[in-house]
Amino acid sequence: MKTPSVDTVKFARKTKDKVQPWKELGLKEEEYERIRVILKRRPTSAELAMYSVMWSEHCSYKSSKIYLRQFGEKVTPEMKKNLMVGMGENAGVVDIGEGWAVTFKVESHNHPSFIEPFQGAATGVGGIVRDILTMGARPIAVMDQLRFGAPAHPDTARVVHGVVSGISFYGNCLGLPNIGGETVFDKVYQGNPLVNALSVGALRHEDLKLAKADKPGDLVILFGARTGADGIGGVSVLASETFDADGPSRRPAVQVGDPFAEKVLIECCLELYAAGVVAGIQDLGGAGLSCATSELASNGRAGMKVQLKNVLLRDESLTPEEILMSESQERMMAIVPKKHLKAFKKIVSKHEVEFSVLGKVIREPRLFIDWGKERIVDVPPRTVAHDGPVYERPVAYPAWLDNLNSNSVSNAGLKRASNASELATQIIQVISSPNQADKSWITDQYDHYVGGNTALAMPDDSGMVRVSEESGLGVAIATDANGKYCQLDPYTGAKLALAESYRNVAASGAKPVAVTNCLNFGSPENPEVMWQFKEATAGLADGCLELGIPVTGGNVSFYNQTGDVAIYPTPVVGVLGVIDNVARRIPSGWQDEGNNIYLLGTTRDELDGSAWAEVIHDHLGGKPPVVDLAHEKALAELIQGASLQGLVASAHDLSDGGLIQAIVESCLRFNIGARIWLEELMERDEVDLTAALFSESQGRILISVGREDDVKFVGLCEARGIPVLRIGVTDSTGDLVIQDVATWSMEQIQKLYSGAIPELFG
């Protein structure tokens, strides 16, 4: 029989024994067999391309699904009350009152960012922003969670410069304020940097859009950038395979971003939404057209008929399979009722955005894709988009974990400073270490003003943007993940990440209401990694239930490992808070002299996994700090209450680096000095000076209070049973004095804290 120029459904029926490259496309043998069972024949090469990308780990969540379910199960009706859209959509949507809703999500772009840091990071921003746009929202801010290898490693600067410039290039050009994020350096991320991007958007309730095609006859329209050869197979080949140290270069599989095209697309989409001409919308990201067509049809419980020859191409030589797999950026797919086509055309033409009608929605739940006169895809869309394989992979308690846990700071006999001058030296070492030092060399490369609604941004504890100009209603967002804590105990580590983000949001004066996550792990095929994943997801789900705030969506990134070496489990947890008026927000630094400084919470001797252990002793072992979510909740309620009464001049959460880190940052925020005394703290909590300064005990916040509000504030703490202790006072001397330890001028401490990162990368 004659072989046709494209592999058609008809031809596939007749050539059931044809050998197909399922393995090269990343499918396992049993997965390929399953496709044959679904289709009752061999797939065409176009169908194989679609299944392979959609069934990849990145798109199908096949290894994580059974654990992610608990985010939907461990919830109370109260937690779901304000949830307009939960997990499973492009991003979760939360009702924040006054007719406003907010959508937010964090996503990984780890693998591309190692191969091509600039484009990898840039398109990471582009992708998450399109997810937010797809919900009908105007994107209003972005944040980035970055993890790089050891600062001194020769390859780290390449990745740092590329990633930071990529985010700066793309995010700034989109006109979205970058309001915060994280930067961590650790050798475990050397070959697997983590580049997570978060975006938040705001919409009126009635503007909510969903990615579904459910009305037969509606048109399927592709618009935005043309389809090119970039990012082909990115999903299956890149994101779902462990890097091989001496494997071939994978550069061609990384997408290339054009932020200008995306900015135009954002304005164009918002105008389309406002005109009410779009019935459903989906962005094209991972898996490109394969994903958009199958998901829209599957979500709408309908089918779709598409003419692939109608796709506008950048490169006319692309094959139908390549067109289906291409991950060219800045494209969207809209479902448009026929009667609105004229209005649709008018709006996209105004923005000079190209579009083409690919086909239409049909009643029969089947996805038909034609290449000219030939049918090359004939599949049930649900089997591609939603009913992919689900694995319960083997889990195993890590063989090394007991040893790591018993190698605590005390068992290892790590030496503490024996006098004031040694302690002063350790303080300097800690605050000028790359992980603890000022990150403004990075954040100053991002626009945090655009939009005119930024109420808080780095270096404050959380980012905050105004949503309503009329009322001042706004949202605060903070993210956190401590990979070291998770390596010591992934269950507690995930709860700790949640606790810290929650505390950061609370410290800004906002009320925490929802959670997103980006779960960065090693290979799911390693049972020990899978155990870490199981523990971390359980910890996060249990934590959310305890705090009473729901997970609204998230992302999983597996295969972050080089050879056999996996990264620390790094579940990035983002918490969204609501504040009735952003004018009430609390800064993280001391603003006035003569204010009293209070430490809320209890300090324990918790130095395992701390910045002190890492910087001073290059040590990681023991157990992470104790987490008490009931206390975190009480603390958050206290801050909200105190902020409503205008009693709090500043609030800074304590986390890695401990009390001394919070003190230094509070001083330098507005260059206000302070005198700090610690005897009472040491006596009350029975800790030594090292623990008082460096312990990473949770549930603590450093507060400054004007003298006139003193009695009221302390009364409020006592009434709520929150331990409160005055440990100092702000002053105008321009010095930071830690009694019995050291005195530094603001200039000295600024130089130490702010000089480290520019020295490494500037």
Q: Which residues of 212-233 are buried (b: 16+ CB within 10 A; e: fewer)?
A: bbbbeebbbbbbbbbbbbbbbb
The rounded distance, in Å, linking the Cα atoms of 115 and 352 is 33
User: In sequence order, what are the residues at sequence separation of 6 or more whose Cβ sits closer than 8 angstroms to the Cβ of residue 545?
Assistant: 74, 75, 76, 79
The rounded distance, in Å, linking the Cα atoms of 620 and 441 is 28
Q: Which is nearer to another protein, 401 or 450 (CB)?
A: 450
Q: Which is nearer to another protein, 593 or 688 (CB)?
A: 593
Q: What's the min distance (Å) between Cβ of 716 and another protein?
A: 23
Q: Which is nearer to another protein, 629 or 662 (CB)?
A: 662
Q: What's the min distance (Å) between Cβ of 232 and another protein?
A: 24
Q: What is the dihedral of CA 418, 421, 422, 427, to 10 degrees?
A: 120
Strand pairing of 331-336 and 280-283? antiparallel
Q: What's the min distance (Å) between Cβ of 186 and another protein?
A: 25
Q: What's the min distance (Å) between Cβ of 355 and another protein?
A: 16
What are residue 506's phi and psi, to 5 degrees? -60, -40
Q: What's the min distance (Å) between Cβ of 171 and another protein?
A: 10
Q: Which is nearer to another protein, 445 or 743 (CB)?
A: 445
H-helix or E-strand spanning residue 520: strand 511-520
Binding site residues, another protein, CB under 8 A = 165, 168-169, 172-175, 258-261, 263-264, 350-352, 444-455, 466, 469, 582-583, 587, 591, 670
Neighbours of 546 (CB within 10 A): 18
CA 364 to chain centroid, in Å, comes to: 37
Q: Which is nearer to another protein, 455 or 541 (CB)?
A: 455
H-helix or E-strand spanning residue 738: strand 735-738
522 contacts 529 by C-beta, under 8 angstroms = yes
The rounded distance, in Å, linking the Cα atoms of 251 and 52 is 20
Q: What's the min distance (Å) between Cβ of 268 and another protein?
A: 10
Q: Which is nearer to another protein, 427 or 662 (CB)?
A: 662
Strand pairing of 138-148 and 194-204? antiparallel
Q: What's the min distance (Å) between Cβ of 263 and another protein?
A: 6
Q: What's the min distance (Å) between Cβ of 298 and another protein?
A: 34
Q: Which is nearer to another protein, 466 or 652 (CB)?
A: 466
590 contacts 670 by C-beta, under 8 angstroms = yes
For 328-383, where are the E strands, in sequence order?
331-336, 355-362, 367-371, 374-379
Q: Which is nearer to another protein, 172 or 433 (CB)?
A: 172
**Closest to 213 in 3D by CA, of 332, 334, 121:** 334
What are residue 368's phi and psi, to 5 degrees? -105, 125
The rounded distance, in Å, linking the Cα atoms of 40 and 18 is 14
Q: Which is nearer to another protein, 453 or 610 (CB)?
A: 453
Q: What's the min distance (Å) between Cβ of 445 and another protein?
A: 5
Q: Which is nearer to another protein, 280 or 587 (CB)?
A: 587
160 contacts 81 by C-beta, under 8 angstroms = no
What are residue 424's phi and psi, to 5 degrees? -60, -40
Hey, which residues are catalytic here?
Answer: 58, 109
- Whether residue 459 is preceded by a cis peptide bond, meaning omega within 30 degrees of 0, is yes
User: In sequence order, what are the residues at sequence separation of 6 or more whose Cβ sits closer than 8 angstroms to the Cβ of residue 728?
Assistant: 596, 597, 663, 674, 675, 676, 677
476 contacts 577 by C-beta, under 8 angstroms = yes
| DSSP codes of every residue in 396-414 | ---TTHHHHHHS-TTTTTP
Q: Which residues of 86-112 are buried (b: 16+ CB within 10 A; e: fewer)?
A: bbebbbbbbbbeeebbbbbbbbbbbbb
- Could you tell me if residue 238 is left (phi over 0), alpha (psi between -120 and 50 degrees) or otherwise beta? alpha
Q: What's the min distance (Å) between Cβ of 466 and another protein?
A: 7
Q: Which is nearer to another protein, 133 or 289 (CB)?
A: 133
Q: What's the min distance (Å) between Cβ of 456 and another protein?
A: 8
